[in-house]
């Protein structure tokens, strides 16, 4: 959620950190700050609002220091004020710190520190950490000067309960940074005579593509010439340096007005990347190299459990429909935030799946760890190589969708849907799906990128519709079976970026309560399927039309609705049944985007939201 960028090297730290913070703006934040060591002192700048405001403050200062830390804050403890913004400084001035996460025992630590003469100027749990490090620093013997700073941080973290990703500096150690993580992501960037620390790879790639993903309980000590990695119990850690495979250009806006729009239009390529190399030579099934389970293992599985949060949870619901439809194996779907606490009984031969674009969502990570604690094999569908979930899962499937910057997920979601469809095929072919049906299924999935391009060609038409419907403050999204999760996703997208109240329901449930909302001021977006449910959905539409509710219908090409039933019709390409949720998603992404723009909303930085939720 919050963003961290730290730098130690030979260049001016402030400009490098500000560039990094700008690349982290998509994560969501309400204040920003930086601290730079120079001339034996500290330049500390903090402000509420955007990074642009911090950059303006910095432009009026002569910031020449080459060691610094910086932060964008998403408020947890304490309101949005300059005093609560990071970095925080210990009351004796010896320690400065930025922090992501929540310190659960901060109140007890604060009470102790008050008895030792330390004072506090903010409402945050982070300031407690700064003062506790200063306390341990003061206690360290002078003879241990070379390790005094690192040791003070280590001893402090032994007393901390909760989650943290921290970067720390001290005026007494002008060419050093110390960073550590537990439950909140941190990545080390390894450069030439410079090293960086950040909460997201996107903040590092303009300086280096060589990175080390810190694990929970690890500390790193950075200098311009190198770094050392260790654990809280003083064990040395041999670093594994990974190479980031995407470039800084992929995280740039280019000619698009917003990252969300850019990523909507990147979906055909993201879908191609999700499929690449993952179909069998005979064209009848999918292949996944990272699941680490044999076909015989899969034949022993009698239930799948899928869990995620937000948009990922909607992908889980689609996976449920597809796996049960084609592989005939029961699937249970749970909110990751609820799974750990409800002690759900699971079948002995269940396989656990988590879905997370970032691979760092704390609720999803906690659910994975709980399932592993109970002895279950855990798989992950994830977009970020090297992320915590990707490392801790027993196996999994990378999405290869490329960096997703927009807070409202688009290309990552449709990539998850495609992988769910491929996995359903993979398991079904091990069970009782025929070769001929498998070939037809694969052909249907291979057609998806091209069909997605055709769906995107409807953008001008959808923009016109959005302009007419941007005035409404309530929407319903209605679908059946595997299009019901897409109704949920459409409602979520509209809520996230336009702040319009929107709800998703199974179309047949509309008459069991939600129909009370229908009026000429509440449009309904219908996903109309082919086959046996067509007449059922048409009947639901007629019930809304009889109550003067405006209707936007998303309809496969060639499917005719009764005249006058829908006020607006958005056609999508006809496709294989397993691909329909993907193609039905694209119009509602565009509709939500263009409505938000028409209402003057900040699409890429929606209020109160963060891209990756790393606190409970």
Active site residues: 2, 611
Cβ(92)–Cβ(138) under 8 Å? yes
The strand order across the sheet containing 218-223 reads: 88-89, 96-100, 164-169, 177-182, 218-223, 226-231
Token pair listed for 607: 């209020």
**Distance, first Cα to last Cα, the chain:** 11
Cβ(486)–Cβ(479) under 8 Å? yes
Strands 218-223 and 226-231, how do they pair?
antiparallel
- What is the C-alpha to C-alpha distance for residues 74 and 444, in angstroms, rounded to an integer? 43
Cβ(311)–Cβ(338) under 8 Å? no
Cβ(397)–Cβ(287) under 8 Å? no
Token pair listed for 407: 């807070």
User: Nearest CA to 398 among 246, 313, 274?
Assistant: 274
Instruction: Output the 3-class SS for 494-541.
Output: HHHHHCCEEEEEEHHHHHHCHHHHCCCCCCEEEECCCHHHHHHHHHHH
Cβ(424)–Cβ(319) under 8 Å? yes
- The torsion region of residue 381 among left (phi > 0), alpha (psi -120 to 50) and beta comes to beta
Residue 553 DSSP symbol: E
- What is the C-alpha to C-alpha distance for residues 311 and 207, in angstroms, rounded to an integer? 32
Q: Where are the beta strands (DSSP E) in 295-349?
A: 303-308, 331-335
Q: At what angle do helices 51-59 and 13-23 cross, to 10 degrees?
A: 160
- The torsion region of residue 236 among left (phi > 0), alpha (psi -120 to 50) and beta comes to beta
């Amino acid at each position: 959620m919050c963003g961290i960028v730290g730098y130690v090297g030979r260049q001016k730290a402030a400009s490098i950190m500000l560039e990094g913070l700008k690349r982290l703006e998509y994560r969501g934040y309400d204040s920003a700050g930086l601290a730079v060591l120079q001339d034996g002192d500290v330049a500390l700048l903090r402000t509420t609002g955007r990074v642009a405001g911090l950059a303006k403050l910095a432009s009026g200062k002569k910031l020449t220091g080459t060691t610094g830390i910086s932060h964008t804050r998403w408020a947890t403890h304490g309101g949005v004020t300059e005093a609560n913004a990071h970095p925080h400084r210990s009351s004796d001035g010896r320690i400065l710190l930025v922090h992501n996460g929540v310190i659960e025992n901060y109140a007890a630590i604060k009470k102790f520190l008050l008895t030792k003469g330390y004072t506090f100027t903010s409402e945050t749990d982070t300031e407690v950490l700064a003062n506790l490090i200063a306390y341990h620093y003061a206690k360290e013997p002078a003879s241990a000067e070379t390790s005094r700073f690192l040791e003070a941080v280590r001893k402090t973290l032994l007393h901390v309960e909760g989650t943290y990703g921290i970067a720390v500096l001290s005026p007494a150690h002008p060419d050093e940074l110390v960073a550590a993580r537990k439950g909140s992501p941190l990545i080390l960037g390894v450069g030439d005579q410079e090293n960086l620390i950040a909460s997201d790879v996107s903040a590092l790639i303009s300086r280096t593509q060589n990175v080390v993903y810190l694990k929970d309980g690890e500390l790193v000590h950075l200098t311009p010439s190198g770094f050392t990695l260790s654990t809280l119990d003083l064990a040395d850690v041999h670093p594994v340096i990974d190479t980031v495979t995407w470039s800084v250009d992929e995280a740039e806006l280019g000619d698009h007005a917003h990252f969300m729009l850019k990523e909507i239009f990147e979906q055909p390529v993201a879908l191609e990347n999700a499929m690449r190399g993952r179909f069998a030579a005979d064209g009848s099934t999918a292949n996944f190299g990272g699941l680490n389970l044999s076909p015989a293992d899969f034949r022993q599985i009698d239930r799948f459990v899928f869990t995620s949060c937000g948009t990922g949870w909607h992908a889980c619901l689609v996976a449920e429909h597809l796996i049960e439809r084609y592989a005939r194996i029961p699937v249970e779907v749970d909110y990751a935030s609820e799974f750990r606490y409800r002690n759900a009984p699971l079948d002995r031969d269940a396989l656990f799946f988590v879905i997370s674009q970032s691979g760092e969502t704390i609720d999803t990570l906690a659910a994975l760890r709980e399932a592993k604690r109970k002895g279950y094999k855990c798989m992950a569908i994830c977009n970020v190589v090297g992320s915590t979930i990707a490392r801790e899962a027993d196996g999994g499937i990378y999405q290869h969708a490329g960096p997703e910057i927009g807070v409202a997920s688009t290309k990552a979601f449709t990539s998850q849907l495609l992988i769910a469809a491929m996995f359903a095929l993979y398991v079904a072919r091990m069970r009782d799906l025929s070769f001929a049906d498998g070939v037809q299924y694969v052909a249907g999935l291979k057609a998806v990128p091209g069909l997605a391009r055709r769906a995107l060609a409807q953008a001008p038409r959808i923009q016109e519709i959005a302009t007419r419907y941007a005035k409404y403050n309530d929407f319903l999204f209605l679908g059946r079976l595997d299009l019901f999760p897409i109704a949920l996703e459409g409602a979520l997208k509209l809520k996230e970026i336009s702040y319009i109240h929107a709800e998703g329901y199974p179309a047949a449930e509309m008459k069991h309560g939600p129909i009370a909302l229908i009026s000429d001021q509440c449009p309904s977006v219908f996903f109309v399927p082919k086959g046996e449910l067509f007449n059922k959905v048409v009947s639901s539409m007629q019930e809304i039309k009889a109550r003067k509710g405006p209707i936007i219908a998303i309809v496969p090409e060639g499917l005719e609705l009764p005249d006058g039933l829908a006020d607006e019709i958005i056609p999508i390409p006809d496709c294989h049944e397993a691909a329909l949720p993907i193609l039905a998603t694209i119009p509602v992404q565009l509709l939500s985007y263009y409505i938000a723009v028409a209402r003057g909303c900040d699409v890429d930085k929606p209020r109160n939201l963060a891209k990756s939720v790393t606190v409970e």
